[in-house]
């Protein structure tokens, strides 16, 4: 993987994490946490899209894919975090 592609993945992931943090309320991960989740979510979104046979075109498509992955990841983290809180 070349450096330019890695930089774009990070930038798109950061934007996706920020947007996902606006959508998923009560996340309590903060801005930096959501940005990190966005970068990881970009990878998750790409994986899920490939599993579903979907593809993206251009930076906007990549952003939508990363956003979907970040929302999914934030939702799962929120679910796990709330479940841990109830067990304590």
The Cβ of residue 81 has, within 10 Å, a number of other Cβ atoms equal to 13
Structure tokens at 60: 């906007």
pLDDT tens-digit profile, the chain (88 residues) = 688 888 887 888 888 888 888 887 765 577 777 778 888 888 888 888 999 999 888 889 989 999 999 888 888 887 887 766 666 5
Exposure class string for 1-38: b at 16+ Cβ within 10 A, else e: eeeeeeeebebbbbbbbbbbbeebeebebeeeebbebb
Residue ranges of domains in the chain: 31-80
User: Rounded distance, CA 41 to CA 31, Å?
Assistant: 15
pTM to 2 decimals? 0.79
Structure tokens at 29: 């991960």
């Amino acid at each position: 993987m070349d450096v330019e592609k890695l930089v774009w993945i990070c930038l798109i992931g950061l934007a996706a994490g920020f947007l996902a943090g606006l959508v998923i309320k009560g996340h309590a991960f903060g801005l930096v946490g959501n940005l990190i989740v966005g970068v990881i979510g970009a990878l998750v979104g790409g994986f899920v899209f490939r599993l579903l046979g979907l593809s993206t075109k251009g930076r906007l498509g990549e952003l939508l894919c990363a956003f979907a992955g970040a929302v999914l990841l934030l939702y799962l983290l929120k679910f796990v975090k709330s479940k841990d809180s109830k067990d304590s």
